[in-house]
């Protein structure tokens, strides 16, 4: 209730403009309804890898995920990695544009309901290695998680570390990403019986998310899901 009152007061005192067309926008997401509707939304996707399914296909896993089941129990992306979303993500990661992070986080919060709601759910932003965290000054996954936390979702309790400084996944072909990220994470916490909801900015092959899911399940997590801002296609 307090959160909603503060949001309403902020919208009155500081009316926002659409980030794209400069028309009056909504205070939280800084987008007008027309531009919001034109974003590259992803719908009807595989719950294992978040890639689009054929329009006439029934809901379910794609052939590749049926052949090689992922560690993730459910995965969804809000958008395709296309303009303007890709520009906002790059601005957030490389130009310290935390207003873009806020916008992306609000858009994520609109759609980030966990698939499994019968068990306790905790949010875990994908960890950065301490070296990259020092270079950037913040973890972009944590920044885009803030609106979810403000809405009452809990942060996972424990110690979640990216203990090995890996090469950037974006620099590697798909076949090398799994080996690059293997063993990069260390987790310790009260995970038994919980659903962990991983939050990240971009998913390409899913190697990072699936490796983290594997480690979390070994540590006792009952279920691991992922929500990302964008999926490369």
User: Which domain does 23 fall in, by range?
Assistant: 1-38
pLDDT tens digit string along 48-65? 999 999 999 999 999 999
Summarised one tens digit per residue, pLDDT across range 181-228 is: 888 899 988 899 899 999 999 999 999 999 999 999 999 999 999 999
Verify that 128 and 14 share a domain, yes or no.
Answer: no
What is the number of domains present in the chain?
2
94 and 9 in a single domain? The answer is no
Looking at the fold, whether 8 and 94 belong to one and the same domain comes out as no
SS3 content of the chain, % helix, strand, coil (to 5): 35, 20, 40
pLDDT above 60: residue 91? yes
| pTM for the structure as a whole | 0.88
Residues 60 and 79 in one domain: yes
In the chain, the N- to C-terminal Cα span, in Å, equals 39
Q: Considering the chain, what is the average pLDDT of its residues?
A: 89
Pair of tokens at residue 10:
């902020």
Shared domain check, 19 and 72? no
CATH of the domain at 65: 3.40.50
In the chain, how long is the greatest CA-to-CA distance?
Answer: 54
* 112 and 151 share one domain: yes
- CA distances 99 to 30, 143, 144, Å, are 9, 10, 10
What is the per-residue pLDDT for 117?
61
pLDDT at 1: 56
Is the confidence at residue 34, as pLDDT, over 70? yes
Q: Which two tokens stand for residue 132?
A: 């990259």
> Residues with Cβ < 8 Å from 141, sequence gap 6 or more?
125, 126, 127, 128, 199, 200, 201
Contacts of 63 (CB under 8 A, 6+ apart): none
Q: Are residues 95 and 82 in the same domain?
A: yes
- CB 139 within 8 Å of CB 128: yes
Predicted pLDDT of residue 169: 75
Rounded-to-integer distance, Cα 78 and Cα 112, Å: 8
Q: How confident is the model at residue 118 (pLDDT cuts 50, 70, 90)?
A: low
Domain match, 13 and 124 both = no
CA 186 → CA 14, 134, 158, 211, distances in Å? Answer: 43, 19, 11, 11
Kindly report, residue by residue over 1-13, the tens digit of the pLDDT: 555 565 566 656 6
What integer is the mean pLDDT of 131-140? 94
Cis peptide bond prior to 86, omega within 30° of 0: no
Q: Please say if the pLDDT value at position 116 is more than 80.
A: no
Strand, helix or coil for residue 176: helix
Tens-digit pLDDT profile for residues 146-191: 999 999 999 998 889 888 777 777 767 777 787 878 888 999 888 9
Q: Tell me what pLDDT residue 26 has.
A: 67
Q: Say if residue 198 is in the same domain as residue 185.
A: yes
Residues 18 and 79 in one domain: no
Q: Does the pLDDT at position 14 exceed 90?
A: no
Looking at residue 112, its pLDDT comes to 76
Domain check: are 96 and 136 in the same one? Answer: yes
Residues 164 and 208 in one domain: yes
Q: What is the pLDDT of residue 24?
A: 79
* E-assigned strand segments in 44-184: 74-80, 121-125, 154-155, 158-162
């Amino acid at each position: 209730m307090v959160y909603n009152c503060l949001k309403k007061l902020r919208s009155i005192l500081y009316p926002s403009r659409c980030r794209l067309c400069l028309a009056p926008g909504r205070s939280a997401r800084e987008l007008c309804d027309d531009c919001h509707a034109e974003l590259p939304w992803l719908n009807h996707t595989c719950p294992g890898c978040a890639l689009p399914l054929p329009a006439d296909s029934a809901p379910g896993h794609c052939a590749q995920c049926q052949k090689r089941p992922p560690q993730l129990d459910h995965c969804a992306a809000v958008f395709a990695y296309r303009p303007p979303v890709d520009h906002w993500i790059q601005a957030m990661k490389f130009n310290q544009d935390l207003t873009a992070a806020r916008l992306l986080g609000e858009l994520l919060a609109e759609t980030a309901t966990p698939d499994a709601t019968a068990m306790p759910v905790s949010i875990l932003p994908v960890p950065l290695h301490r070296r990259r965290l020092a270079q950037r000054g913040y973890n972009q996954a944590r920044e885009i998680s803030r609106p979810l936390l403000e809405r009452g979702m809990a942060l996972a309790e424990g110690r979640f570390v990216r203990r090995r400084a890996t090469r950037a996944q974006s620099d590697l072909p798909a076949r090398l990403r799994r080996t690059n990220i293997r063993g990069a994470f260390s987790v310790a916490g009260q995970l038994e019986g919980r659903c962990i909801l991983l939050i990240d900015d971009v998913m390409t092959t899913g190697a990072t998310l699936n490796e983290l899911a594997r480690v979390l399940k070994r540590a006792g997590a009952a279920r691991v899901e992922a929500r990302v801002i964008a999926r490369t296609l």
